Chain A
Amino acid sequence: MRPLRAHGVSEEEDDAPMAEDRGRFPRSVFEEGEDPDPRFSLANERTFLAWIRTGLAFVAAGLAVEALQLPVTEWLRVTISVLLVLAGIAATAQAWLSWVRTERAMRHLAPLPSSGLKLPIAVLLGLVALAVVVGLLL
């Protein structure tokens, strides 16, 4: 097994950041720290994609509520639809936000960040569930 940090043990290669590293996008991530094992970056990329798919699913659900005319009062239906699409926007923002923060933390060997927009997303989904229950009972 290779060491977990690709550059923890340097084998005669200079550890100073390469010149081309400095301009790497996004600066807030690559400005400082050391590149982690590429496998960790790939795992972070998969988490990013999972959030993207989650966001797309929320958006699709929000559109479906309107397109399929969920059988609840109109104002509640619109509310449910809007809340779901807002959750989709939040999940998409969370995808990028958490990717940046995780990649940065890994470059500094810092604890991985938590939360981000997870709480707002959970609140939105709770409201959706509540609205559906109320709508079906009305």
Chain B
Amino acid sequence: MTSPADPGLQAERTSLAWRRTALSVAVGSLIGMRVLPQQLGPTGYAVAALGLLWSADLALTARRRYRDGSRLVRTGDGRDRRAVAAPTLARTAATAGVVAVSALVLVLVIALR
């Protein structure tokens, strides 16, 4: 019996995790497109559009991580830089952090209004 190229489907599961994240951001942005303009005016549309851009970036990352991941699992070479997408993860965490802090500011601004 031949062994599958990706035993445990590690690369696929990782890619799907990125895809779930992209989907969450897309849904959140679309809801934001309805809600944010009521609070922020036209700026609200711009903010929601930025969210959709981020979602597209995450979806592209999902594709890239599948390619890199399946190659890595096949060759088993953890020394390959692509095994760990640290810069990508740092960028994702930073973006999520900016979103969260902006949300805090928004809530406080609405509350103090």
Contacts and interface: CB of A to CB of B under 8 A. Distances in A.
Nearest to B62: A49
Given A42-B69, A45-B85, A92-B97, A56 B24 contact: yes
Instruction: Give chain A's interface residue range (CB within 8 Å of chain B).
Output: 35 or more
B108 to A, nearest CB: 7
A127 interface: no
Contact of B81 (A20, A63, A103): A20
A107 to B, nearest CB: 10
Interface string A1-19: 1100011000000000010
A21 B13 CA distance: 27
A38 B76 contact: yes
B57 interface: no
Nearest to B83: A38
Contacts of A103: 84, 86
Interface string A101-135: 00100000000000000000000000000000000
Contacts of B38: 67
Nearest to B76: A6
Contacts, number: 136
A66 B110 CA distance: 8
B104 to A, nearest CB: 5
Interface of B: 7-8, 10-11, 13-14, 17-18, 20-21, 24-25, 28, 31, 35, 38-39, 65, 69, 72-73, 76-81, 83-87, 89-90, 92-93, 96-97, 99-101, 103-104, 106-108, 110-111
Given A35-B83, A56-B25, A82-B104, 13 more contacts: A29-B86, A36-B78, A38-B69, A39-B10, A42-B13, A45-B89, A56-B96, A60-B28, A66-B111, A67-B38, A78-B107, A78-B111, A103-B84
